[in-house]
Chains A and B, each alone.
Chain A
Amino acid sequence: MDLNEFITAFAEQFDETSPSEINAHTDYRDLVDWGSLTALSVIAMVKTQMNKKVTGEELYSCPTVGDLYNLLNSK
């Protein structure tokens, strides 16, 4: 999965935020509908679409979508 595909899949986990607001530099933790249930959706998406694992702590410590993508690619 390349970065653009990841951003699209990541943005699909948000219900109130427009996909156009999400790019590699977005601090998703500031988005209005970021929270535990969105985080769980992202964890599930990473598992099913990337076959990788990410923890809640990692999700909350990555500053941007791009940083999260890089973290996942390093696994």
Chain B
Amino acid sequence: MELIKLSPDFSLEKYGVQVRLVNEDDADFILRLRTDSKLSRYIHSTDNDLEKQKEWIRGYKEREAQGTEFYFMFLHNGERAGVRRLYSIKEDGTFTGGSWLFLPDIPMSVSIVSMIISLEVAFGMLHLTYDDLYDGVHESNTKVIKFCKMLGVEFTDTIIDEKGKYFIGGLTKETFYKREKEILELLNITC
């Protein structure tokens, strides 16, 4: 399949959340999230360097233009609330997701619907078919493991590196569409 590209001006409003693609002006906000010791316990470490973050975003924008990566900024009431990224998007229809970080003081549904919106974009707009969690979820990140299972992720194996054990697996488009309704219902949100 040919990779679908989103316009740099892409925007969407759904479930009370606004979405757009990350740009260089977001570097400071992203850096604050990624260098917060509590929020970023389970993501790859980031240097607390604004220029490096801007440079990383410039590199990302090239991947965005190729359709291999999309980094979403989610806003609540017009204010930045958090981010989520789809990357390693391949012509075989697979992708992976990560960089899911939100401010702690926003309404609880915002981060959850943002995950759902990012998957709706992946499976619906980009016509991808399989979320390949090849990076894995750290075994200590039990809340995310539990949430992944609610979403229908099937963990099939483990990998080990210097930081410990990670569960790897994946989520099919069909399973996601079945499970998202249940999660939205729990949040009192209708599709």
Contact = CB atoms under 8 A, between A and B. Distances in A.
A44 B108 contact: no
Interface stretch (A20-28, A32-40, A67-75): A32-40
Interface string A47-75: 10000010111011000000000000000
Contacts of B150: 40, 44
A36 B144 CA distance: 11
Contacts of A53: 188
Nearest to B102: A36
A44 B109 contact: no
A36 B186 contact: no
B113 to A, nearest CB: 10
Interface of B is mostly: helix
B142 interface: yes
Contact of B186 (A38, A44, A60): A44
B187 A37 contact: no
B152 to A, nearest CB: 14
B169 to A, nearest CB: 18
B147 interface: yes
B108 A56 contact: yes
Interface residues of A, number: 18
Given A40-B186, A44-B186, A47-B186, A57 B107 contact: yes
B104 A40 contact: no
A15 B111 contact: no
Contacts of A60: 107-108
Given A15-B142, A40-B186, A44-B186, A56 B147 contact: no
4 closest A-B pairs by CB: A36-B108, A37-B143, A56-B108, A15-B142
16 contacts: A15-B143, A36-B110, A37-B112, A37-B143, A37-B144, A40-B108, A40-B112, A40-B150, A40-B186, A41-B143, A43-B187, A44-B150, A47-B186, A56-B108, A56-B187, A57-B107
